[in-house]
Structure 1
Amino acid sequence: MTTSPPRSPVPFAAPTLPTPLAEIRLVDPGAGSSGAAVVRLCRTGDDAGPPADAPSGWLPSAGAVAALAPEDGVGRWLVGAGAGAAKDWRGAGAAAVRVASGRSEPGALLGAEDGPARVHVVPEAGVSPDWPSVATGLLLGSHRFAVKSSAPAAPPRVTVEVPEEERPAVERALVLAGATAVARDLADSPSGAKSPAWFADHALDALAEGVEAVVRDEQWLAEQGFGGVLAVGGGSSRPPRFLELTWSPAGATTHVVLVGKGITFDTGGISIKPNAGMADMRTDCSGGAAVVGALGAVAALDLPVRVTGLVPLAENHVSGSAYRPGDVVRHYDGRTTEVTNTDAEGRMVLADALGYAVATLAPDVVVDVATLTGAMKVALGVRTGGLFATTDDLATGLVAAGESTGEAWWRVPLTAGHDADVDSQLADVRQAPPGPGGIVAALFLRRFVGDVPWAHLDIAGPARCDSPHEEVAKGATGFAARTLVEFCARHA
């Protein structure tokens, strides 16, 4: 009998990571940059208005761009920052790097014939920009994730005239923006290539020196009793992984544990999703991606606080080995869950990771982040994350961390009246009880953290973008990475 050779794997296209970002150099005011396109930052208000050479009728509203006549063959642009709010300056930075490097209209790829486009950014006379916000916009505005046959244009080289006293804050902002870029890359990578093992490998490549990393396989998960991760990942031919990252500087006395949902693709399992929007499920690992980005930035900033990142990784697929509604799953801490909807998979893997954190890591505080519920997207839209917390101080600290880094959070109550809905007659808890979806999901997770101060960040809305704005491009946004870094810094 003739046998057929084994089938070769489908040749999925994989991205080349990391996505190249603008090379940003800080120079003294008045330094200039010969041959570079000049971008002047303007704003509105009583103390500043349109420059004298602005086109008739042009106003420096946030992100507005005007092309001026070139001088000595060098392009010149005006970019507006509106009234000068932080988000306006981020938008101005992004518009500056996009327009002068040919990435938006009326852009022109300036200097590219000799190499990367060169851009020189200066403030209009009398204008004092929010330089950290401008820098965030410049770096993230240059990020454009793609998987194409042609090589992407080299990212621009940007010089920025920044006063000496502003530079430490600007350099710090660039590190935080880099964390966002890492999170975008991991979340946006197509799932054909992005198996749990692939995610773990590329996460390790993105980490700064000093972060210890361990990747556990399905055998370890089975030995340790990670029933939630194994159940969710059981329907895929690509087995789950568990990523543990540790930053432990000498003398650190506070231990923050960050837990990120790492579903590399989510079909919904047997409770299968409709086709509309399923392609976006490559970004269902956005929480885990944010944790990876944050750990790299925490180490790069050398923060004097111990931080552990946990990312349970699985692909929620449909097959004969997929978990089913009606199943009972035993988690790491011994608690049992009645499965009622296999598309509520994120809380299953987080439950294992939260139980592991509490039992083995002695954390002072635990924060999890996940694209968890469509209900939270409906409630808060796509620019604000949902925040649940067991203490007021923890909620206040996370909101403040988000405000200082340009990420908005809204606290949602852990409504006590719905807590009993999580109980199950068949098991200890029900996975997807009736009630307000975001709230009952958070109440389910709270069962696995004991008395440890805990916060849950639901980023189902802002983790993805269809309508670009400010520094945010279409696709995965990297939302929450900067908040997590700033939160850790404030715990140092």
Structure 2
Amino acid sequence: MTAPTPPAPFAAPTLPTPLAEIRLVDPGTGPSGAALVRLCRAGDDAGAPSDAPSGWVPSPGAVAALAPDQGAGRWLVGAGAASSKDWRGAGAAAVRVASGRSDPGELFGAGDEGVARLHVVPDDGVSPDWDALATGLLLGSHRFSVRSSAPAPPPRVTVEVPADQRPAVERALVLAGATATARDLADSPSGAKSPEWFAEQALAALAAADGVGAVVRDEHWLAEQGFGGVLAVGGGSSRPPRFLELTWEPPGAGTHVVLVGKGITFDTGGISIKPNAGMADMRTDCSGGAAVVGALAAVAALGLPVRVTGLVPLAENHVSGSAYRPGDVVRHYDGRTTEVTNTDAEGRMVLADALGYAVATLAPDVVVDVATLTGAMKVALGVRTGGLFATTDDLAADLTGAGESTGEAWWRVPLAAGHDEDVDSRLADVRQAPPGPGGIVAALFLRRFVGDVPWAHLDIAGPARCDAPHEEVAKGATGFAARTLVEFCAARASW
């Protein structure tokens, strides 16, 4: 499906961002003419190879080019103590440096087409974490850009992988692809990224996901159905809101998982306007919705035998004469009313509608929402760990485990009962932004809209964006949570 042309003069990216072409081969059968990348590790029983430059240590992501007399395009890449994180970093470093994508990178093994060709092998006695390595190789090649010049083509990477490890590697590449899709949608500049544009790009990203149904609802449908939160938040923009509903229902699927992702395509803060510092990063305020789109694509690609519905309420929180105001009372889909106290707390307004819709119409067995929701959670947990709230211990454990298996860290935060009454409003049913610990009271607000359905809330305000690249994570939108959501759905498939 062709996305609508954005209004001039805004430049839209060409999506999807090209990724490395990765081919798996049997050990000892690598191609000729490709740059050789050897993976090394540190530790008591392993150290720098004998041909390494003097003083080089195979610390995580460390790269060394061998001397010219040892053959052009021969690289050593360190994996440190060989944790999963170290292997993701090693894979990303190998792709970035040996393909000329990072300083002091130099393009090697390229043919006439100018594509870097890499051949990756573990050093003698080294057994990689193959899943983590594959994740790093693919995501290390992701380089989002809206430049006028064509970016360098991504590398072609051949990896020597034992046959018994290939299914796991291929699966890891699918999950990494979900992260890349989420990065693309979240990082796209907001001048082009209206709610409509996001929805159309999501449909394009899912075009190859056989079996995924998709419906985009407009502002007229939202008004008819009573999505007061989405309409209030989107009312200040000249670009109306949208509601994206994605469905994956393979034959025989039992458990129904509903994933809800915040889709604020840009957030000025509304009348409660944000300071200028950091506002440019608000193009990534749709990171939760982007993660849901990426996850649905991966769920379908893996053919998981579980029913999954993805809901993404899309709106632009802008400033105008039609913007919603502090002191307004908004009626949500489920009839509940909210007293608005801060128009910059817009994410919970759109999520409240989507959660109420899910519970009332979809009969879910479990609901998980994901959102760049509160600056408080970024302050509490930093930029590499997501906040996790859950109504049951089992649900919290499942999500934490899904994150651990994919390299995404979560920390459970309590739904502190002592603050629950803070959500009550004198004027309406609930207060939008009550006093108290910001991340906790925001989660308690959302819990009012899920009834008795098992529910978890993932606050990714910190790890959704990155200012300093690390391991497989690039600067900009990170795609955080997409892999966790896929693994969570995969675990539910066994129920």
Q: TM-score range by the shorter chain?
A: over 0.9
Separation (CA, whole Å) in 2 of partners of 1:352 and 1:35: 56
1:158 aligned to 2:196?
Answer: no
Question: Deviation string for 1:275-333 (max 9, x for gaps)?
Answer: 00000000000000000000000000000000000000000000000000000000000
Paired amino acid for 1:51: P
Describe the shift of the 1:204–1:264 C-alpha distance in structure 2 as closer, same or farther (beyond 3 A): same
- Tell me the SS of whatever aligns to 2:67: strand
Say which SS state the counterpart of residue 246 (structure 2) adopts: strand
**Structure-2 residue corresponding to 1:191:** 190
* 1:76 and 2:74 correspond: yes
Aligned to 2:133: 134
Aligned to 1:210: 211
| Displacement of 1:114 | 1.6
Report what 1:475 is aligned to.
Answer: 476
What is residue 120 of structure 2 aligned with on the other side? 121
Q: CA deviation at 1:33?
A: 1.6
CA shift digits 1:113-153 (9 cap, x unpaired): 52211000000000000011000000000000010100011
In the alignment, what sits opposite 1:294? 295
Residue 107 of structure 1, CA deviation: 1.2
Distance 1:27 1:78 in 2: 20
Match of 1:65 in 2: 63
Provide the rounded CA distance (Å) in 1 between the counterparts of 2:97 and 2:278: 30
Residues 60 and 82 of structure 1 are in contact (CA less than 8 Å); yes or no, is this contact kept in structure 2? yes
Decide which moves more: 112-121 or 422-431. 112-121
- The whole-number CA distance in structure 2 between the counterparts of 1:291 and 1:114 is 39
**Partners of 2:444 and 2:30 in 1: how far apart?**
56
Q: Quick one: which amino acid aligns to residue 139 of structure 2?
A: L
Residue 222 of structure 2 aligns with which residue?
221
Q: Which moved more, 1:57-66 or 1:71-80?
A: 71-80
Q: Which residue of structure 1 aligns with residue 87 of structure 2?
A: 89
**1:256-271 correspondence to structure 2 within 5 Å:** 256-271=257-272
Aligned-residue offset at 1:104: 1.5
Q: Could you list the runs of 5+ residues in structure 2 that have no partner in the other structure?
A: 1-5
Distance, in Å, in 2 between the alignment partners of 1:56 and 1:313 is 55
Correspondence 1:173 to 2:172: yes
Partner of 1:41: 39
Letter in 1 for 2:310: G
**1:146: which partner in 2?**
145
How far did 1:69 drift?
A: 2.5
Provide the C-alpha distance between the structure 2 equivalents of 1:418 and 1:112, rounded to a whole number of angstroms. Answer: 60
* Number of positions where the alignment pairs a residue of Structure 1 with one of Structure 2: 485
8 Å Cα contact 1:312-1:353 kept in structure 2: yes
User: In structure 2, what is the equivalent of residue 13 of structure 1?
Assistant: 11
Task: Determine if the alignment matches structure 1 residue 334 to structure 2 residue 332.
Answer: no
Amino acid corresponding to residue 351 of structure 2 in structure 1: L
Distance in 1 of aligned mates of 2:339 and 2:157: 55
Q: Distance in 2 between matches of 1:278 and 1:271?
A: 13
C-alpha displacement at 1:45, in angstroms? 1.1
SS in 1 for 2:149: coil
Question: Which 10-residue stretch deviates more, 196-205 or 42-51?
Answer: 42-51
How far residue 59 of structure 1 moved from its aligned partner, in angstroms, is 0.5
**Conserved in 2, the CA contact under 8 Å of 1:305 and 1:488?**
yes
Spell out, residue by residue over 1:361-413, the C-alpha distance to the aligned partner (whole angstroms, 9 max, x if none): 00000000000000000000000000000000000000000000000000000
Residue identity opposite 2:222 in structure 1? L
Q: Distance in 2 between matches of 1:102 and 1:265?
A: 33
Partner SS for 1:238: coil
Provide the rounded CA distance (Å) in 2 between the counterparts of 1:168 and 1:92. Answer: 21
Alignment check: 8 A CA contact 1:377 1:461 kept: yes
CA–CA distance in 1 between the matches of 2:36 and 2:309? 43
What is the Cα deviation at residue 46 of structure 1? 1.9
Conserved 8 A contact 1:67-1:106: no
Identity %: 88
Change (3 A) 1:238 1:283: same
Which residue does 2:3 correspond to in 1? none
| Structure 1 unaligned blocks of 5 or more | 1-7
User: Which one-letter code corresponds to 2:129 in the other structure?
Assistant: D
Cα distance in 2 between the residues matched to 1:37 and 1:23: 15
1:106 and 1:313 map into 2 onto residues whose CA distance is 41
1:393, 1:106 → 2: CA distance? Answer: 46
Alignment of 1:365-380 (within 5 A): 365-380=366-381
Shift, 1:11, TM fit: 1.5
Distance in 2, Cα, partners of 1:299 & 1:247: 7
Residue 72 of structure 1: how far off its partner (Å): 8.3
Equivalent pair of 1:365/1:454 in contact (CA under 8 Å): yes
Q: In angstroms, what is the RMSD of aligned CA positions?
A: 1.0
Moved over 4 A (4+): 70-73
How far apart, CA to CA, are the structure 2 residues paired with 1:326 and 1:235? 16
1:103 aligned residue? 101
Task: Give the distance between the partners of 2:86 and 2:276, measured in 1 at CA.
Answer: 36
Q: Which amino acid aligns with 2:418?
A: G
Instruction: Name 1:394's counterpart in structure 2.
Output: 395
Structure 2 letter corresponding to 1:363:
P
Q: Distance in 2 between matches of 1:369 and 1:70?
A: 50
* Paired letter, 2:158: T
Whether the 8 Å CA contact 2:7–2:192 is kept in 1: the answer is: no
Alpha-carbon shift at residue 112 of structure 1 (Å): 3.4
3-state SS of 1:243 partner: strand
Structure 1 residues 366 and 55, CA gap change in structure 2 (3 angstroms): same
* SS of 1:246 mapped into structure 2: strand
Q: Structure 2 CA distance, aligned partners of 1:199 and 1:85? A: 36
Give the Å deviation of 1:209. 1.4
How far apart, in 1, do the equivalents of 2:170 and 2:110 lie? 26
* Counterpart residue number, 1:4: none
- 2:402 corresponds to which letter in structure 1? A
Query: TM-score, length-normalised on structure 1?
Result: 0.98
Q: Is the 8 A contact 1:229 1:312 kept in 2?
A: yes
